[in-house]
Amino acid sequence: MGKFGVKERNLEGQIVVDFAKRMDMAVVNTYFQKREEHRVTYKSGGRRTQVDYILCRRGNLKEISDCKVVVGESVARQHRMVVCRMTLMVCKTKRSKIEKKTKWWKLKKEECCEEFRQKLRQALGGQVVLPDDWETTAEVIRETGRKVLGVSSGRRKEDKETWWWNEEVQDSIQRKRLAKKKWDMDRTEENRQEYKELQRRVKREVSKAKQNAYDELYTRLDTREGEKDLYRLARQRDRDGKDVQQVRVIKDRDGRVLTSEESVQRRWKEYFEELMNEENERGKKSRRGELCGTESR
């Protein structure tokens, strides 16, 4: 937080400051000395205050050369536009090497398998027995597979819950979207019924696709590919079940926000040491009772 804010800080302002501290960010508006007219972001009646902010990572603050309110430009009722000027270095990103793979799994489909057989037979010149030169034969098989089955994009497969997605589901959802758009433009009963029917159809298609995908997964559990699919699904469900993926900040005994990794770890260590070494209150009371009884005797 800089020293060029407007007036006193209320509860909402303190929340913004605490958030900036936790995330190691800077409230850019408060770092540039401006006339009050170029700092006030909210005007209503006699009230003039600063409630709209630009935040950036503290490490990027040196790249910002100016920040102010644009007078006369209304963004919303009673609020004024806040702008900043900054210089950014555009870094060239190294592209990782993409390895495209032939979609051999398509051979599970009978029509793809039959087409592959025919094309391969043609490529080998109709020979029933494979030639002795295995390297040449292998290259012919790979090339035929690429032409008939296609190749993957090379991107990493995401661990999504929609791994069961297929073309039928995609087509049904696209038609449902078009029907929704049509109904929004022309609210007739006919368009509404068409949209509702497509909604029901999408639900049936999704349910059917999921069931088929799970059935196929169960039959392939003994294979390597089946295990990969199962672990991928388990990882995704584990992530979806977590409300918070990572805890970055914590408060110390005095309520101050700790942001550095070392201080956060140190505070957790202190907390658990106190927790594990704290004496049970019930145990204290029982021992006091025993001592009192001994003294009375």
In this structure, the answer to whether residues 169 and 234 fall within a common structural domain is yes
Residue 234, pLDDT score: 77
In this structure, the answer to whether residues 129 and 173 fall within a common structural domain is no
Average pLDDT over all residues of the chain: 78
More confident residue, 7 or 52: 52
For the stretch 47-50, contacts whose Cβ atoms lie closer than 8 Å and that sit 24 or more positions apart, written own/partner, are 48/6, 49/6, 49/7, 50/5, 50/6, 50/7
**Interval 234-265: pLDDT, tens:** 777 776 665 555 556 677 888 777 777 788 88
pLDDT greater than 80 at residue 223: no
Whether 179 is in a domain gets the answer: yes
Whether 291 is in a domain gets the answer: no
In this structure, the answer to whether residues 62 and 15 fall within a common structural domain is yes
For residues 287 and 293, what is the distance between their CA atoms, to the nearest angstrom? 10
Q: Which two tokens stand for residue 194?
A: 């068409």
Give the containing element (helix H, strand E) for 160: none
**Interval 14-56: pLDDT, tens:** 888 888 888 888 888 888 888 888 888 887 777 888 888 889 8
In this structure, the answer to whether residues 180 and 230 fall within a common structural domain is yes
In this structure, the answer to whether residues 227 and 250 fall within a common structural domain is no
Question: Of 257, 266, 247, 255, which is closest to residue 19 (Cα–Cα)?
Answer: 257
In this structure, the answer to whether residues 251 and 231 fall within a common structural domain is no
Whether 296 is in a domain gets the answer: no
Parent domain of 111: 104-149
Residue 275, pLDDT score: 81
**Gyration radius (Cα) of the chain, Å:** 33
In this structure, the answer to whether residues 112 and 66 fall within a common structural domain is no
Give the containing element (helix H, strand E) for 142: helix 134-149
Q: Taking the CA of residue 88 as centre, how many other CA atoms within 13 Å lie in the half-sphere pointing to its CB?
A: 6
Q: Is residue 52 within 8 Å of 41, Cβ to Cβ?
A: yes
49-67 as b/e: b if 16+ CB within 10 A: bbebbeebeeeeeeebeeb
Global pTM value = 0.35
In this structure, the answer to whether residues 19 and 70 fall within a common structural domain is yes
User: How many domains in the chain?
Assistant: 4
Whether 184 is in a domain gets the answer: yes
Residue 271, pLDDT score: 85
In this structure, the answer to whether residues 276 and 254 fall within a common structural domain is yes
Whether 96 is in a domain gets the answer: no
Whether 210 is in a domain gets the answer: yes
Whether 91 is in a domain gets the answer: no
Q: Which two tokens stand for residue 268?
A: 């957790």
Q: What is the pLDDT averaged over residues 120-147? A: 78
What are phi and psi for residue 10, nearest 5 degrees? -100, -170
Residue 193, pLDDT score: 92
Whether 294 is in a domain gets the answer: no
In this structure, the answer to whether residues 232 and 255 fall within a common structural domain is no
More confident residue, 224 or 285: 224
Please report which confidence band the pLDDT of residue 57 belongs to, taking 50, 70 and 90 as the band edges.
Answer: confident
pLDDT greater than 80 at residue 172: yes
pLDDT greater than 50 at residue 296: no
> Of 86, 113, 136, which residue constitutes the final position of a domain?
86
Residue 194, pLDDT score: 92
Please report which confidence band the pLDDT of residue 159 belongs to, taking 50, 70 and 90 as the band edges.
Answer: very low
Q: What is the pLDDT averaged over residues 94-119? A: 82
Q: What is the pLDDT averaged over residues 116-136? A: 75
In this structure, the answer to whether residues 172 and 234 fall within a common structural domain is yes
